[in-house]
Amino acid sequence: MSAETREVLEICVDCMASVEACAAAGVDRIELCAGLVEGGTTPSVGFMRAARAAYGGRLMVMIRPRAGDFVVSAGELRVMEEDVRVARGEGADGVVFGCLCPDGRIDEVAAGGLVGAACGMDMTFHRAFDVSRDLEESLETLIGLGIPRVLTSGGEASVEVGMGVIGELVRRAAGRLAVLAGGGMRAGLVERLRGLGVREFHMSARSGFASPMEYRRPEIPMGASVVPGEYERRQADPAVLGAMLELLSGPHAALTKAGAV
């Protein structure tokens, strides 16, 4: 398979265990985040630095100052632009961001400022795209801004539901922008997405792992009143990574068969 059509697996990670699992498996690219339960926010400088030291593949850093909607204030945009500069300084290969206007259009002013801050870096516009008002319009806006990739579930809750739209986006993009399929992604969907022309796949690949904590106070939550189990960890699962990598093209099959996962 040529370099132009080589399939890519990207894993979103929010803990060092997931970074290390991806490094061991030979995953192509990771999206480094904090708080995946909130959809992902900007990771700490310490996490960026440690991840860069542990992982030799393509490192993308989420640039999102808070959870919630994607309308950013002038102050938040200054934070995001500074976070782009920090990510560059910590050795990130690229950044991931998304900005919308209150009416659901892509915020070209904010996104353009981030494109300028990230000049020379790789960029992905994240799933803010999926909640924009018109995906075809948004696609053309991103292409016009020079953003090389969009992460999308086809404007639906999951890739599986939005698969038809994803295929249409690939067709409309016509190579001007890469469509990264993500949102409820699993190995069983790869072949169908391939048939639509998708070459980049995004997932968390997480499973539950027991916490090593022996003394436990489960009646005292540290976050919201309804939270995921605090004595269970959600991190990248080597078995899930291996299954995905076996499906995708490139050198990964040799890695997994050799016991690299």
Report DSSP letters for 72-128, one per residue.
--HHHHHHHHHHHHHHHHTT-SEEEE--B-TTSSB-HHHHHHHHHHTTTSEEEE-GG
Q: What is the pLDDT of residue 37?
A: 86
Closest CA to 32 of 45, 13, 15: 13
Per-residue pLDDT in tens (0 to 9) along the chain, 261 residues: 344 568 999 999 999 999 999 999 999 999 999 999 889 999 999 999 999 999 999 999 999 999 999 999 999 999 999 999 999 999 999 999 999 999 999 999 999 999 999 999 999 999 999 999 999 999 999 999 999 999 999 999 999 999 999 999 999 999 999 999 999 999 999 999 999 999 999 999 999 999 999 999 888 877 665 555 655 667 889 989 998 999 886 554 444 444 333
Strands 232-236 vs 206-210: parallel, antiparallel or unpaired:
antiparallel
Phi, psi (degrees; rounded to nearest 5) at 136: -65, -45
d(CA 7, CA 11): 13
3 state SS of 229: coil
The answer for residues whose C-beta is within 8 angstroms of residue 29's C-beta and 6 or more apart is: 8, 9, 10, 11, 57, 58, 59, 60
Closest CA to 55 of 87, 88, 84, 32: 32
For Cα atoms 99, 193, 202, give the angle at the middle one, nearest 5 degrees: 45
Q: Where are the domains of the chain?
A: 8-121+180-249
pTM above threshold 0.75: yes
Q: What is the pLDDT of residue 222?
A: 75
* Domain 8-121+180-249, CATH homologous superfamily name and number: Copper homeostasis (CutC) domain (3.20.20.380)
The token pair that represents 70 in the structure block: 């994607």
Longest dimension (CA), the chain: 56
